[in-house]
A and B are shown apart, each in its own frame.
Chain A
Amino acid sequence: MEQDAKQVVSNERGGSRQEANSFRIGKYLNVTNIGMTLYFLFLALPLVWMLSMSFKTNQEILSTRSFIPIDATLANYQTIFSQPFWREAFFNSLIYVGLNVVITLIVALPAAYAFSRYKFRGDHHLFFWLLTNRMAPAAVFLLPFFQLYANIGLFDTHLAVALAHTLFSVPLAVWILEGFMSGIPKAIDETAYVDGYSFPGFFFKIFMPLIGPGIGVAAFFSFLFSWVELLIVSTLTSTNAKPIVVTLSRSLGAEGWDWGVIAAAGVLMIIPGAILIYFVRNNLAKGFALGRV
């Protein structure tokens, strides 16, 4: 550890935990708080701007620039809820995202268990190969995915999108789950067998509850990827399974730039994520922190 006589004088740590004692205004005017305030303003401004736009008429959007709508209206939201193609697109999104989460967990749980509990020939290579799929640009898969899913007759179905998205969600889920599972001592497995549990009994009744947070985090990241992705869904869907991300992108061109409706749709698409992040907030970052690197 390096020491410097000049620096011994100031020995305050971190900068983050020093604010608790005093209520004086001056105390809050330090670099940390100013910096944090600026950052959160930067985070909030674009979102607030879109939120306020969603309550404005197109006329007002183009004529004045204010945070508070002068002539607040719900017409943009009404447009979306009254038109079936917006509603259907929203449900299409939720269906394939849900399917993706289910498939990912079914596939990733046993795989992560294998990586965390067993040594087998080529395990490191296989793990790395799984992760390399996470690196592949989605654009690479446009053509082959289209042909593959058209050939097996799944084109324009929710299942096709869900399956295609597992390419990116399974590697991440295996990685996260493996981290959580390796945190559970192997003695637990052995004790359960001694107590007479069969393997499935042990896995579902004892092991899964123990790694509950990990399953939550893995599900969260699978949801996350599937929900935000645009390129693959727009390739694999045409009408039946067309999701809201694609509808939004296309309506940008087709409907003569109806900014109010676009902003309202944008706001609606933030809501599921916002709800989800509230529920997993305590386990969110843990998922990555425990993953192996």
Chain B
Amino acid sequence: MKTENQRAWFFLIPALLVMSINAFIPIMTVINYSFQDIFAGSAIWIGLENYVRVLNDSEFRSALGRQLIFSFLILLIQVPLGIAISLGMPKKGWRATVALVAVGLPLLIPWNVVGIIWRVFTRGDLGLVPVFFNLFGYDYNVANNAVDAYWSVVAMDVWHWTPLIVLLCYSGLNAIPDAFYQAAKIDGASRWSTFRYVTLPRLRSVLTIGILLRFMDSFRIYSEVDMLTGGGPGTTTAFLSDVLVSKARANEFGYGGALSLIYFFIILIISYVFFLVLTNVGTADETPKEA
């Protein structure tokens, strides 16, 4: 049993100190900017005008639309794929080691290097992908064709981040006692119902973490896309961070501040909804789990 003890705050001092420097001050700065019109060192209080501008900005709206479609698309691909791969992963021996290291590797590659890997992989003049598509008579062009560029970004993200879901589910699977499967076998459960009623409920907590992390991180994607397509052709692969970075680089403090907060708020809201849904869905037909 945990002790009710206010002494705990003492242990939290270092963390709170670091986080207040890094999170509290910058967020306050951004909030402050968002209510002001800032030019040439002087600032005027303009209330919510920046927010109105952001919400009416077609650049922001279309980037938000693209962002939402992108994030849900990659979740739809990565989560089932990740679960499937984790089920097929070797469980022990040297093959398990090799598979784990290989799967984990994309996660440890600097994000801009991921973009560069995919750039040299897909570029018309030096990549492998165009050669592959040419075999089927398709003229693949990541630089000029919006559809190709979009799906290249999706493929890159699947390559980069499916491993996270795989690793999470792999660890979740290893934590399921063999007795559960034996019981299912004795009951004559099919492979699908074994998966649905034995495996999947036990993966709930790792999948919750995985889906939340994937959602947040895909919503913040920047460096990889910047290296692969630079947001192009046109603005077809320009996501929210891309818009925000260009505003920040152009020193649009007020507009950028308002955009930052709206952006952050959207992530918070959607993450919270995901969290609620994932912790409650399907609890009715499940055996109570000991947590």
Are A281 and B100 interface neighbours, CB within 8 A?
yes
Residues from chain A with a CB closer than 8 A to the CB of B257 are 143
Does A68 sit at the interface, judged by CB under 8 A? Answer: no
Does B253 sit at the interface, judged by CB under 8 A? Answer: yes
Question: From residue 77 to 132 of chain B, which have CB atoms closer than 8 A to chain A?
Answer: 81, 84-85, 87-91, 97, 99-113, 116-118, 120-121, 125-128, 131
Q: A143-B256, A288-B206 are in contact. Are A16 and B110 (CB under 8 A)?
A: no
Are B185 and A11 interface neighbours, CB within 8 A?
yes
Q: How far is the CA of A272 from the CA of B240 in the complex (A)?
A: 31
Our pick among A11, A115, A119, A123 for the contact of B188 (Cβ within 8 Å) is: A11
Our pick among B100, B220, B256, B261 for the contact of A284 (Cβ within 8 Å) is: B100
Q: How far is the CA of A242 from the CA of B14 in the complex (A)?
A: 28
Q: A11-B190, A139-B222, A281-B97 are in contact. Are A103 and B248 (CB under 8 A)?
A: no
Does A201 sit at the interface, judged by CB under 8 A? Answer: no
Are A285 and B168 interface neighbours, CB within 8 A?
yes
A99 CB to nearest B CB, Å: 13
Question: From residue 129 to 165 of chain A, which have CB atoms closer than 8 A to chain B?
Answer: 130, 132-145, 147-148, 163-164
Q: How far is the CA of A120 from the CA of B264 in the complex (A)?
A: 28
Are B188 and A8 interface neighbours, CB within 8 A?
yes
Q: How far is the CA of A36 from the CA of B91 in the complex (A)?
A: 13
Residues from chain A with a CB closer than 8 A to the CB of B4 are 118-120
Are A117 and B191 interface neighbours, CB within 8 A?
no
Contact with B along A27-65 (1 / 0, CB 8 A): 000001101100110111111011001000000011001
A50 CB to nearest B CB, Å: 5
Does B146 sit at the interface, judged by CB under 8 A? Answer: no
B230 CB to nearest A CB, Å: 11
A179 CB to nearest B CB, Å: 10
Q: A143-B248, A276-B108, A285-B171 are in contact. Are A1 and B206 (CB under 8 A)?
A: no
Are B25 and A148 interface neighbours, CB within 8 A?
yes
What are 17 sample pairs from A and B whose C-beta atoms fall under 8 A apart? Answer: A12-B191, A32-B87, A49-B117, A65-B126, A65-B128, A119-B2, A120-B6, A126-B12, A130-B19, A137-B240, A137-B264, A138-B241, A139-B260, A148-B29, A163-B22, A170-B15, A231-B245
Residues of chain B whose beta carbon lies under 8 Å from any beta carbon of chain A: 1-12, 14-15, 17-19, 21-23, 25-27, 29-30, 33, 81, 84-85, 87-91, 97, 99-113, 116-118, 120-121, 125-128, 131, 159, 163, 167-168, 170-172, 175, 181, 184-185, 187-194, 197, 205-206, 208-210, 216, 219-220, 222-223, 227, 240-241, 244-245, 248, 253, 256-257, 260-261, 263-264, 267-268, 271, 275, 279
Residues of chain A whose beta carbon lies under 8 Å from any beta carbon of chain B: 1-4, 7-8, 10-17, 32-33, 35-36, 39-40, 42-47, 49-50, 53, 61-62, 65, 103, 106-108, 110-111, 113-115, 117-121, 123, 126, 130, 132-145, 147-148, 163-164, 166-167, 170, 174, 186, 224, 227-231, 245, 248-249, 252, 259, 262-263, 266, 269-270, 272-274, 276-278, 281, 284-286, 288-289, 291, 293
